[in-house]
């Protein structure tokens, strides 16, 4: 079983509240989302594993069970071309839960006209393989968002 932690501090809102139909419709996969605190911070690894995909606005960590977890920092933030994001690690690195991956500023993301909401998605998972999904309430970076069996 994989326990997936929040990569950012904020308020859990659930995938259905994400202002993007690809995420809200769980087309990428099931999971939840966090509306981050409005201050500069560091998005951290939600699981222990290998960083198989790394962009300034998004990253995927695959754990030793083969579970890939996507963290997307904001919505449509790929259009910012990396502006306001600082990558702290390298693709292919082995990372630990809670380790800093990307430094970013949700305020700058919103100032650029984008949503700062962060989907956290279980890639190639079925909805019934996730349990204890947190979709409301305040979360700290590192708090459990869901378990994946």
144 within domain boundaries:
no
Residue 70's closest CA among 148, 149, 131?
Answer: 148
53-102 confidence digits (pLDDT tens)? 999 999 999 999 999 999 999 999 999 999 999 999 999 999 999 999 99
The catalytic residues are 72
148 within domain boundaries:
no
Q: Is the pTM of this model over 0.95?
A: yes
Residue 7 sits in a domain whose CATH number is 2.70.70.10
145 within domain boundaries:
no
State the residue range of the domain holding 124: 2-139
64 within domain boundaries:
yes
Angle at 58 between CA 43 and CA 86, to 5 degrees: 60
147 within domain boundaries:
no
| Strand-pair partners of 130 | 148
119-148 confidence digits (pLDDT tens)? 999 999 999 999 999 999 999 999 999 999
Question: How many domains does the chain divide into?
Answer: 1
79 within domain boundaries:
yes
CB-based contacts of 15: which residues, under 8 Å, 6+ apart?
23, 24, 26, 30, 31, 32, 33, 119, 121, 135
């Amino acid at each position: 079983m994989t326990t997936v932690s929040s990569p950012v501090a904020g308020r859990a809102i659930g995938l259905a509240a994400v202002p993007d139909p690809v995420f809200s419709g769980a087309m990428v996969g099931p999971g939840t989302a966090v509306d981050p605190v409005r201050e500069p911070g560091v998005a951290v690894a939600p699981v222990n594993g290998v960083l198989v995909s790394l962009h300034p606005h998004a990253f995927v960590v695959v754990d030793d069970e083969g579970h890939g977890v996507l963290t997307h920092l904001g919505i449509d933030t790929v259009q910012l071309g990396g502006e306001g994001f600082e990558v702290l690690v390298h693709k292919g690195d082995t990372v630990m839960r809670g380790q800093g991956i990307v430094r970013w500023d949700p305020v700058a993301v919103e100032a650029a006209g984008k949503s700062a909401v962060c989907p956290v998605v279980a890639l190639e998972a079925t909805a019934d393989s996730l349990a204890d999904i947190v979709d409301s309430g305040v979360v700290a970076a590192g708090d459990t968002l869901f378990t994946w069996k």
